[in-house]
Structure 1
Amino acid sequence: MKPTNLAFLTTSALFSMCFTTSALADVDYHIDIDQPIHHLAQVSVSFPKTESTQLTVNLPVWRTGRYQVLPVADGVRLFEATDSKGKVLPWQRTASGEWTINLTQPTAVKVSYQLHANELGDRLRHIDESHAYLDASGVFMYSPEFRQQPITVEMKVPKGWKSFSGMDKGRNSHSFKAANYDVLADSPIETGINQHFSFEADGREYDVVFWGEGNYDTEQIITDLHKISGQASMIWDDYPFERYVYMVHATSGARGATEHLNSTVIQLPRFNFREREDYLRFISTASHEFIHTWNVKSYRPQGLVPYDYQSENMTDLLWVAEGSTSYFQNQLLLRAGVMTAKEFFEDLSLRIVLNENNPGRDTQSVAEASLGQWSSTWGDYAINHSVNIYSEGYLASMALDFSVIQDSQLAHSYRDVHKALYQNFKIPMGYNVADVQNILTTLTGKDYQPWWQKFVNQPFILEFDTLLAQAGLVTTYGDKAKTQVETGIGLSGLHADLVLATVAKNSPAWKAGLTAGDELIAVNGLKVTAEGFAKRFEDFKPGDKVKLTVFSNDRLKDVSMVLGEQPKGELSIQALESVTTEQKAFFKAWLGIDWPFDADGEWIKSDNDA
């Protein structure tokens, strides 16, 4: 059995295996993709003999990698349960993702049901004429009684399809096996008409599977994935897998990515790969998901160990699980030579601007955002009073990294924190806040509880220039910085009308009494259109008072708004005019690369520069 599978066995399961493995009968799954054009398949699960008077079977109400309850069971119809002789057994639906089967005598049980799979955007399940993407969380039911039993998966697929998964191969090219349901739930299957490539990096095997036509360059992607896959030693000292699978979807619009035990799925609209900006978005995502193989899949907060598939898994450390992964993703690309230093700092500049324009950063802490992730929404209230575990977690990680580098006198960095988490808290263990703080104290000799209180348990505002100056850097809008009008109005972009999607807290529009849902009709008595909205305000300057005519709750009214001021142009990160040897050393300790500026403060060209 591979270390990958052992990591997901609970202590009790390991205990039982010390005595015998023959006593563990397989749970057998079968899926027949019989109506792909209608997104339909037939699923059956055969459970071993049970002595219980009831057998509970579940379909998870969420999937790993997305911390939100989903209506997963809505894709199930024609549920049926039979005993070992084929006799139909009575059952009741007892919860959203739960069925309880009544038994009169010990027997094996077979469960069957029809599955509808058209949730590609959720990366949960999707079946069509060309492929099936199957995340077990949305496809295969389990019984808590048999969760730790070995499993097999047999598939009946259309002719010409090829099947791939991070699981071990079974009896044929369309079958797989795993140690238990936890491995199955974290090892999605991609089967269909696809392109397949393979390579080796640092003694590990990698498969890359492409589904869907698009403007991607397979040669470039394979080359860069090879570079990325050899960079794990940037943080960790070994691998939690022997083989890894990259699944790439070129879609008709669905996007996003999800990490898994020893694989990932990454999807973008089919023509969003070629341009450098698009490609960097794709390859950064690939880096993010690869890093997750350690951070989240090999070690994770106690609230997520073991997974409870039927309810929320609460933890105040999701910002470490997700935000720190975001923080490391471009560093890995930078060290691999896939991303230039200039591109790295362009991304960081954008993150700084987004943070400085986020009205929720003075309201919610990253700890609270972690706990609230399960109920988070995207709307006017959330934008004005919330932070994101990814973006804010990135900046909290950066602040922590700079603190560790400084407090350890360049001997350690935040990477060493994650190395220690991997070494000391591999699943089935889980780490908590005190564990992270203890690691920080060990590395630096300082008490990190005050830092934690300031930057994690309460909202924080970073002084970016003060922070970056340690590494010889400064933010700037240019030598001749200009300003432009600020309104605080955000449009959804979904309608031809001017319905306000968001109104930023404490912005000119907020102070004028506008709110999300109002419809803008005119500025100073003249009609304004969605297409001309931005240009219309270019006719004014900061400090001007304008009259806005709006429909608010279907009632026409006029409001007066004093226009605000914001920087015009793009923020960039540059070298300070005078950089010391100590600052360059800090820079090297931070990113692991040499100083990327020449004597005139210009970027030193690299192979990836345009």
Structure 2
Amino acid sequence: FFAADFDVLYDCPIFIGNQEVLSFEVQGIDHVVAIEEPGSFDRDKLVSVLKRMVEAAVSIIGDIPYRHYTFIMMGEGRGGLEHQNSMAVFSSVPNLDDPNDYKGWLSFIAHEFFHLYNVKTIRPIALGPFDYDKENYTNMLWFSEGGTVYYEYLILNRAGFMSRDEVLEKIQNIIRSYENVPGRLYQSATEASFDAWIQPFFGGADATISYYDKGAALGMLLDLKIRHETKPQKSLDDVMRILYQKYYKEKKRGFTDEEFRDVCESVARL
């Protein structure tokens, strides 16, 4: 094993155990699923479901930034962390014969997977390389996290796991959740992003909001605005591809708040 720098080394989780290992390929690239507590489920169906999800996600950007990818599944729980060529999640495999059971799980997995783009490669400039001696503040978590919530549902729709109406219902619930917290009258999406070090990031207090919820709604509105202005020749996908190509591939850095806005306005022809 070789890491080019400390950031890469710190981004590579190590989980030693007797996991069951499954595998599949997308565009000739190996994807491994390492499951701590596998239980009873259809192995072929799990591989098929994950492969379709990955194919739908990578088609948005049109480029795969890793040479291999690993899904590390560490048993019961809820939550996970994205890495540039892996995810580490606390999750068992759901009942794959029950769409109501596995769709929620798959949206969670799609969220963590899409973070390899929206956070790890398409990222605000504060989110890497990190200064490990202090907090790294950014105004853009509403897009990095909330935008990824929006895309997790688009990915499942494009992979054939969610209908258009199901996606709209998910977004409707997110908007309802945001509108029912008093913090929406006091805290903006950028303030919630910046305060993530000192405030609950899912909101809940009287004067705070969830940048996941508001960010997902703003991501949808941004997508709709771009489609409306370009009739609809462009979409938020084009913004993502430009950010990926210009800042990750060419400039090899994150983007500033102003650069993000400039790309959005350029794509929307405003």
Do they fold alike, i.e. is TM over 0.5? yes
Counterpart among 113, 123, 128 of residue 305 in structure 1: 128
Query: Match for residue 102 of structure 2?
Result: 279
Query: Match for residue 46 of structure 2?
Result: 221
CA shift digits 1:374-425 (9 cap, x unpaired): 111379x943211112111101111111111111220111111111110111
| 1:336 lines up with 2:159 in the alignment | yes
Query: Match for residue 367 of structure 1?
Result: 190
Query: What displacement does 1:335 show?
Result: 0.5
Query: Match for residue 430 of structure 1?
Result: 254
Counterpart among 205, 208, 221 of residue 383 in structure 1: 205
**What secondary structure does 1:302 align onto?**
coil
CA gap of 1:378–1:419, structure 2 versus 1, over 3 A, is closer
Counterpart Cα distance in 1 of 2:143 and 2:3? 29
CA contact (8 A) 2:181 2:204 kept: no
CA shift digits 1:47-90 (9 cap, x unpaired): xxxxxxxxxxxxxxxxxxxxxxxxxxxxxxxxxxxxxxxxxxxx
Counterpart Cα distance in 1 of 2:38 and 2:70? 19
Amino acid at match of 2:116: T
Pick 1 or 2: higher relative contact order, CA cutoff 8 A, min separation 6: 2
CA contact (8 A) 2:201 2:210 kept: no
CA shift digits 1:411-460 (9 cap, x unpaired): 111111111110111174120121112112221221xxxxxxxxxxxxxx
**What secondary structure does 2:111 align onto?**
helix
CA shift digits 1:552-597 (9 cap, x unpaired): xxxxxxxxxxxxxxxxxxxxxxxxxxxxxxxxxxxxxxxxxxxxxx
Larger CA Rg, structure 1 vs 2 = 1
CA gap of 1:350–1:292, structure 2 versus 1, over 3 A, is same
CA shift digits 1:190-222 (9 cap, x unpaired): 221111011111232101111124455433221
**What secondary structure does 2:90 align onto?**
strand
Counterpart Cα distance in 1 of 2:63 and 2:166? 29
Query: Match for residue 206 of structure 1?
Result: 31
CA contact (8 A) 2:192 2:201 kept: no
CA contact (8 A) 1:245 1:262 kept: yes
Query: Match for residue 144 of structure 2?
Result: 321
CA shift digits 1:23-66 (9 cap, x unpaired): xxxxxxxxxxxxxxxxxxxxxxxxxxxxxxxxxxxxxxxxxxxx
Query: What displacement does 1:289 show?
Result: 1.3
Counterpart Cα distance in 2 of 1:206 and 1:228? 12
After TM superposition, list the pairs within 5 Å mapping 1:59-458 onto structure 2.
Answer: 176-214=1-39, 216-251=41-76, 254-268=77-91, 270=92, 273-274=94-95, 275-377=98-200, 382-426=204-248, 428-446=252-270
Instruction: Give the % identical residues.
Output: 32
CA shift digits 1:306-326 (9 cap, x unpaired): 211232101101111111111
**What secondary structure does 1:229 align onto?**
helix
Query: Match for residue 53 of structure 1?
Result: none
CA contact (8 A) 1:305 1:428 kept: no
Q: Using structure 1 for the length normalisation, give the TM-score.
A: 0.42
Query: What displacement does 1:333 show?
Result: 1.0
Amino acid at match of 2:214: E
CA RMSD of aligned residues (A): 2.1
CA contact (8 A) 2:11 2:83 kept: yes
Q: Which runs of 5+ in 1 are unaligned?
A: 1-175, 447-610
Q: Which runs of 5+ in 2 are unaligned?
A: none
Amino acid at match of 2:260: V
Counterpart Cα distance in 2 of 1:190 and 1:279? 25
Amino acid at match of 1:323: G
Counterpart Cα distance in 2 of 1:213 and 1:236? 32
Counterpart Cα distance in 2 of 1:366 and 1:217? 41
**What secondary structure does 1:209 align onto?**
strand
CA gap of 1:249–1:330, structure 2 versus 1, over 3 A, is same
Q: Using structure 2 for the length normalisation, give the TM-score.
A: 0.91
Counterpart Cα distance in 1 of 2:144 and 2:183? 21
CA contact (8 A) 2:204 2:210 kept: no
